[in-house]
Amino acid sequence: MTDTPILPMGYSAVPAGKVATVVTCLEMRARPAPRAVNAGTLRLERWHRPSLEQYRALFRRIGADWMWVSRLVMADAELETILHDDKVEVFALVDGERPAGLLELDFRQEGDCELAFFGLVADAIGQGAGRFLMEQAISKAWAAPIQRLWVHTCHLDHPAALAFYRRSGFSPYATMVEVMDDPRLTGVITRDAAPHVPLIEP
């Protein structure tokens, strides 16, 4: 039997096999002024009714190190219903011929748009592609009759993400704590993914 550690006041232990994260919800209620961005070799392509396999492959490639797993564990029928809904717009960011990122805008809630997924492949990060993708996201979202564009991010996402969203015009409005099964231990992503996040071995 292992001894239960004595925790300082206000702290809660994360059980073995779980991972904890703080989630921040952010929103913008008016379209920000457009920014000039240099597209270079980048282009955004609408991805109509993507195959689940191809979608999950890009999702995994972008998100494994940030522990994106929601779309990997979702039942096929449920994911297909979302991705094939006319009110959900999926885009692939392409650099030349190489996939560089994923953008998903969800208009299913009337008056709202959720920036449901927003991310770049590892070798596209930190070179201006994020700003290009955000300008596209904002422009496409606010082209629809919405009152609010919102997003949530957590501290398992890229460490620059929260500040990037705030610089993009989003303001935080809610904070939540999430405790989930560590997907590296359940086999959803590989055990060596997200090496910066310690495993709490059962």
Ligand X SMILES: CC(C)(COP(=O)(O)OP(=O)(O)OC[C@H]1O[C@@H](n2cnc3c(N)ncnc32)[C@H](O)[C@@H]1OP(=O)(O)O)[C@@H](O)C(=O)NCCC(=O)NCCS
Residues that bind ligand X in the complex, under the rule CB under 6 A = 62, 66, 118-120, 125-131, 153, 157-158, 160-161, 164, 167
Minimum separation from the CB atom of position 162 to ligand X (A): 8
Minimum separation from the CB atom of position 127 to ligand X (A): 4
- Measured from the CB atom, the residue of 15 and 126 that comes closer to ligand X is 126
- Measured from the CB atom, the residue of 20 and 161 that comes closer to ligand X is 161
| Rounded CA Rg of the chain | 18
- Measured from the CB atom, the residue of 10 and 122 that comes closer to ligand X is 122
Residues 157, 27 contacting (CB under 8 angstroms): no
- Measured from the CB atom, the residue of 17 and 126 that comes closer to ligand X is 126
Minimum separation from the CB atom of position 160 to ligand X (A): 5
Minimum separation from the CB atom of position 104 to ligand X (A): 11
- Count of CB atoms situated within 10 Å of the CB of 78: 10
Amino acid found at 51: S
Using CB atoms, what's the residue nearest to ligand X?
Answer: 130
Q: Where are the alpha helices (DSSP H) in the chain?
A: 52-63, 70-73, 76-83, 129-142, 161-167, 183-186
- Give Cα separations from 130 to 146, 161, 199 (angstroms): 23, 10, 29
